[in-house]
Amino acid sequence: MPAISFQSVSKTYPSARIQTDPAVRALDDVSFDIQPGEFFGLLGPNGAGKTSLISILAGLSRASAGRILVHGSDVLSDYANARRKLGVVPQELVFDPFFSVRETLRIQSGYFGIKRNDAWIDELLDSLGLADKANANMRQLSGGMKRRVLVAQALVHKPQVIVLDEPTAGVDVELRQTLWQFIAKLNKQGSTVLLTTHYLEEAEALCSRIAMLKRGRVVALAQTSELLKAASSNVLRFKVDSELPSHLAAQARITGRIVQFPANNAHEIEQYLVAIRQAGLVAEDVEIRKADLEDVFLDVMNGKTVEQPQALAGVAK
């Protein structure tokens, strides 16, 4: 049985202010399963629908169509069971400012009917570098510290499935390391992890499988290693001081003066450099690097590698 099963999930938000505004289709027929013990990454640009999907999973919002099961429990019709199996770290920081860190975690334990939970609460505080803040009031904490409490809060009931929605957005390096060490340990001990992030190097390092979401649709879904194989092996990167001729620009990824070409071998790299010289341009700061998840991601988002949804899933088989 999958840890999480997304089944044809769609979500349409009503038009924002005036009735002539089009309704927003945030999720469009999203289907995939996450298996127990997986460390799964859900990637996509801002507005792709990641938080909408997680809100429905967490029971905070209702799907317009489709359903989601957590270890077989429907998040709508069997909410209490589904919720107990889930630990959700939301994207937004929301807290009651009047309680201390320990009180916040005790109250959260109470929601799940857990009475004496201090041994686990202490372990959470220790593992997340919060031990010396146990008695501090929530309103006294910095944003990074609040984020840690949010993670601890999601874990008080030892959920089988841990869901993190952009947990490291705007967070310092130290917390990222603390957090990933701890989450990786829980994953090794058997917890399933679903992570959304736009830090692609994080996803590449942590996630064994990745789905990419674009405008509410799954446009790629594969093992991380397969996604990386789907990219060219290398990237030729350099700076130019004037515009590339259109036949070259069409093959390149251009960010201001920086030009990047996907290249499989030395011959291709040479050909690009020759073409640049023939176009009368001077390439500066030339470097060759290994393609990474960001290259795959940009290719997918630009519709370069993947013409149809799921095309990369085929590659994985």
List interacting residues with ligand ADP (CB under 6 A): 13, 24, 26, 44, 46-52
Smallest distance from ligand ADP to CB 198, Å: 9
Q: Which residue has the tokens 């620009």?
A: 249
For Mg ion, the closer CB: 91 or 160: 91
Which one of the spans 17-25, 83-91, 128-136, 295-303 is the region binding Mg ion (CB under 5 A)?
Answer: 83-91
User: Tokens at residue 227, please?
Assistant: 């996604």
For ligand ADP, the closer CB: 215 or 239: 215
For Mg ion, the closer CB: 50 or 146: 50
Smallest distance from Mg ion to CB 48, Å: 8
Give the separation between CA 76 and CA 67, rounded to whole angstroms: 8
Smallest distance from ligand ADP to CB 152, Å: 23
Residue 147 touches which of Mg ion, ligand ADP, none (Cβ within 5-8 Å per kind): none
Q: Which of 198, 312, 218, 298 is nearest to 27 (CA)?
A: 218
Which one of the spans 89-97, 139-147, 155-163, 284-292 is the region binding Mg ion (CB under 5 A)?
Answer: 89-97
Residue 13 touches which of Mg ion, ligand ADP, none (Cβ within 5-8 Å per kind): ligand ADP
Q: Which residue has the tokens 């429990």?
A: 73
Q: Which of 133, 154, 157 is nearest to 144 (CA)?
A: 133
Smallest distance from Mg ion to CB 125, Å: 27
Smallest distance from Mg ion to CB 276, Å: 39
For Mg ion, the closer CB: 51 or 224: 51
Smallest distance from Mg ion to CB 167, Å: 11
**CA 146 centroid distance within chain:** 20
For Mg ion, the closer CB: 213 or 235: 213
Please name the residue ranges forming H helices in 240-280. 246-249, 266-278
Residue 47 touches which of Mg ion, ligand ADP, none (Cβ within 5-8 Å per kind): ligand ADP
Q: Which residue has the tokens 């990786």?
A: 184
* 8 A C-beta contact, residue 125 and residue 117: no
User: Tokens at residue 197, please?
Assistant: 């992030």
Residue 49 touches which of ligand ADP, Mg ion, none (Cβ within 5-8 Å per kind): ligand ADP
For ligand ADP, the closer CB: 117 or 196: 196
For ligand ADP, the closer CB: 13 or 79: 13
Strand order in the sheet with 253-255: 253-255, 258-263, 234-239, 284-290
* 8 A C-beta contact, residue 200 and residue 231: no
- Angle formed by the axes of helices 143-155 and 173-188, nearest 10°: 10
Phi (first) and psi of residue 290, to 5 degrees: -75, 140
Q: Which residues in the 48-77 window bind Mg ion by CB under 5 A?
A: 50-51
Give the separation between CA 234 and CA 269, rounded to whole angstroms: 9
Interface positions with Mg ion (CB under 5 A): 50-51, 91
